[in-house]
Amino acid sequence: MKYLFTLLVFFTSFNINAQELSGKQLLDKAIKKHDPNNNWSSFTGKLEITMTTPKNPKRVSNIDINLPAQCFELIAVRDSVMTEYRVNEDEVNVVKLDWKNPEKQLETTEKDLERAVFMKNYYTYLYGLPMKLKDQGTHIAEKVERKTFKGKEYLVLKATYDQHVGSDAWFFYFDPTTYKMEVYQFFKTEPFGKIIPNTGEYILLSENQVVNDINMPKVRKWYYNKDDQFLGADVITK
């Protein structure tokens, strides 16, 4: 009976402490879990990421990120087409080649340049989480919620953004004991911030890849919120 009472006291105090965490406190604990040596701000590293989507050939992307130099490079191969995106501070370059005709460079457009910037923001944001939630223009909700998702209970952090950063509302799901990020989810919003149900996606994170002492999810699987339809997966393969 004494042992049972001790367990009840432990779990009761754990739940109270977790509920008392503010959003910023939870974020700090999560960052300490993923980036224990504060390496993200000076991150330089290379990743090979293989993307698979239903009914499409896989895409292999080799990514080189140098945050201190503000340099980003991505070389992606799908079928026989190789695309090189390079973003160096405000300079953007895109080169496209078809290995079936390597002597001829494929034409690039303004949309290709826009995509280069998008890819830089996309990869540095998602692989820089949860550290990127400290960026200017990000607003962390004070209240931490407890939610059950796919049968597991999480501590959930809500983030919204200045309009020039993004209009979606994001939710980050952390293990209540280890503070490991295991899910994130976003929804579209109306002009005054109200969430639009059945929009957006959720992403399941699994396994662990250590890159420059930073713990990153090795596998990300994307699904629609509205019907759980599988959209694709990103896997760190090197």
- Kindly list the distances between the CA atom of residue 88 and the CA atoms of 31, 67, 74, 94, in Å, as whole numbers in the listed order: 27, 10, 12, 12
Pair (50, 164) in one structural domain: no
Distance from C-alpha of 97 to C-alpha of 173, rounded to nearest angstrom: 40
Pair (76, 147) in one structural domain: no
Tell me what the mean pLDDT of segment 115-132 comes to.
94
pTM of the model: 0.86
5 inside domain: no
Rg from Cα positions in the chain: 20
Give the domain-ending residue among 95, 110, 127. Answer: 127
Tell me what the mean pLDDT of segment 212-216 comes to.
95
Pair (155, 227) in one structural domain: yes
Per-residue confidence (pLDDT) for residue 19, from 0 to 100: 55
215 inside domain: yes
Per-residue confidence (pLDDT) for residue 20, from 0 to 100: 82
Cβ-contact 51, 203 below 8 angstroms: no
Distance from C-alpha of 63 to C-alpha of 116, rounded to nearest angstrom: 12
- Of 174, 226, 173, 150, residue with least CA distance to 195: 226
Pair (29, 117) in one structural domain: no
67 inside domain: yes
Per-residue confidence (pLDDT) for residue 149, from 0 to 100: 96
- Joined tokens for residue 149: 């998702």
Q: Express each pLDDT in 125-166 by its tens digit.
A: 999 999 999 999 999 999 999 999 999 999 999 999 998 888
Cβ-contact 132, 121 below 8 angstroms: no
2 inside domain: no
Distance from C-alpha of 171 to C-alpha of 187, rounded to nearest angstrom: 9
Please list, in sequence order, all residues whose beta carbon lies within 8 angstroms of the beta carbon of residue 142, skipping any fewer than 6 positions away: 22, 23, 24
Pair (94, 123) in one structural domain: yes
Pair (150, 33) in one structural domain: yes
- Of 121, 49, 107, residue with least CA distance to 78: 49
Pair (75, 153) in one structural domain: no
Number of domains in the chain: 2
Distance from C-alpha of 114 to C-alpha of 226, rounded to nearest angstrom: 29
162 inside domain: yes
Q: Which domain holds residue 176?
A: 22-39+135-231
Q: Express each pLDDT in 10-58 by its tens digit.
A: 444 444 444 589 999 999 999 999 999 999 999 999 999 999 999 888 9
202 inside domain: yes
Cβ-contact 134, 28 below 8 angstroms: no
Pair (123, 180) in one structural domain: no
Q: How far is CA 104 from the centre of its chain?
A: 36
Pair (140, 32) in one structural domain: yes
Pair (74, 146) in one structural domain: no
Give the domain-ending residue among 97, 127, 157. Answer: 127
Tell me what the mean pLDDT of segment 78-107 comes to.
86
Pair (219, 139) in one structural domain: yes
Q: What is the mean pLDDT of the chain?
A: 89
61 inside domain: yes
Residue count of the chain: 238
The DSSP element (H or E) to which 50 belongs, if any, is strand 44-52
Q: Could you tell me which residue, 71 or 191, shows the higher pLDDT?
A: 71
10 inside domain: no
> How many other CB atoms sit within 10 Å of the CB of residue 196?
12
Give the domain-ending residue among 127, 145, 170. Answer: 127
Pair (158, 104) in one structural domain: no
Per-residue confidence (pLDDT) for residue 5, from 0 to 100: 42
